[in-house]
């Protein structure tokens, strides 16, 4: 942006009240600032890739550009904070704050979801390792296979939840065994506890497992594909999927709705977009006052489509 004379220093001269939001791989300062950064590389440096996967296999990449999404959220939140500091609240009137820079690094946005991993390391020298479909130090919380080949996540990791689940699956002996009475004890016996739960889930189809676990009020969730999401009544009831009409497509298109939900000023999709290049001529004529001959020349030189 600096090379195009659109960097912070250039624009703040024109408008000192400007909130300038920047997203880059490694931020605008530090020894790595000039490095190019994709979500994939920044997910690695942010620590997520290290803990994501199974101990005996290479690190796993989720089939999403998670780092980009997290950085987008961070940048949006930072922009809102900067706007509040400038336009509202005691800080603005007291300190005379005007514009400022929101400097978002993708690797930092990823690091922000690492919870207490750095505290574990600095306080006790513990390095959180990949743990497959479990989470370190919390038992039971895992993914279990069902008779019909599906997966269900069950989180019964409080003392009462564990007891209720064990009673439901017919293992009152484990529900009342002192060695499983608290999480610290259950962590020591994680492999056995998970095997007992999965022995039960594999005797039933996924919907039946879910019904039973719901009945004992233990948190659980079937592992959804995007097809499952599109057909789920909760998504529909919450208006989480919007239908938009795009003229050059034969069918209406499902898109994610705007979130989070606001009671008085809810978001909505007002315009689904146009064909690529559909408004090129109109924009260039109206904003740059180009003539038909000039547009024809740009088109002939393949500068515009």
Q: Which residue reads 């939001």 in tokens?
A: 21
Q: Give CA torsion, residues 285, 291, 297, 302, to 10 deg.
A: 0
For the chain, give the number of residues: 305
Query: Comparing C-alpha atoms, which of 151, 161, 198, 200 is closest to residue 181?
Result: 161
Dist CA 151 CA 169 (whole Å): 17
> What secondary structure does DSSP assign to 11-61, as a single string?
HHHH-TT-EEEEEESS-SSSTTTTS---HHHHHHHTTHHHHSS-TTS----
Tokens describing residue 243? 């239908």
Dist CA 255 CA 241 (whole Å): 6
DSSP 260: S
Dist CA 8 CA 4 (whole Å): 11
Q: Is 140 helix (H, G, I), strand (E, B) or coil?
A: coil
Tokens describing residue 198? 């999965």
Sign of CA dihedral 7, 28, 101, 39: positive
**Residues catalogued as catalytic:** 68
How far is CA 112 from each of CA 107, 108, 155, 222, 261, rounded to the nearest angstrom?
Answer: 9, 6, 23, 27, 24
- Are 281 and 274 in contact by the 8 Å Cβ rule? The answer is no
- Are 113 and 48 in contact by the 8 Å Cβ rule? The answer is yes
Sign of CA dihedral 289, 293, 294, 300: positive
């Amino acid at each position: 942006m600096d090379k195009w004379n659109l960097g912070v220093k250039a624009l703040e001269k024109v408008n000192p009240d400007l909130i300038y939001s920047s997203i880059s791989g490694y931020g605008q300062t530090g020894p790595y600032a000039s490095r190019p950064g994709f979500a994939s590389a920044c997910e690695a440096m942010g620590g997520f890739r290290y803990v994501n996967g199974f101990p005996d296999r290479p690190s796993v990449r989720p089939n999403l550009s998670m780092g980009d999404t997290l950085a987008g959220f961070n940048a949006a939140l930072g922009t809102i904070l900067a706007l509040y500091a400038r336009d509202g609240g005691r800080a603005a009137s007291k300190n005379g704050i005007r514009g400022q820079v929101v400097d978002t690094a993708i690797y930092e946005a990823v690091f922000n979801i690492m919870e207490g991993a750095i505290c574990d390391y600095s306080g006790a020298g513990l390095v959180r390792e990949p743990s497959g479909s479990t989470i370190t130090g919390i038992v039971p919380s895992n993914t279990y296979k069902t008779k019909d080949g599906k997966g269900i996540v069950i989180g019964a990791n409080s003392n009462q939840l564990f007891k209720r689940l064990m009673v439901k699956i017919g293992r009152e002996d484990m529900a009342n065994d002192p060695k499983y009475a608290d999480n610290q004890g259950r962590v020591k016996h994680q492999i056995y506890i998970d095997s007992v739960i999965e022995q039960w889930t594999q005797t039933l189809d996924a919907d039946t497992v879910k019904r039973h676990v719901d009945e004992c009020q233990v948190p659980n969730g079937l592992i959804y594909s995007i097809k499952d999401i599109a057909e789920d009544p909760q998504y529909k009831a919450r208006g989480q999927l919007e239908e938009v009409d795009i003229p050059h497509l034969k069918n209406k298109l499902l898109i994610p709705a705007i979130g989070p939900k606001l009671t008085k000023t809810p978001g909505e999709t007002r315009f689904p977009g146009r064909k690529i290049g559909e408004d090129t001529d109109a924009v260039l004529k109206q904003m740059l006052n180009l003539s038909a001959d000039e547009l024809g020349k740009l088109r002939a030189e393949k500068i515009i489509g």
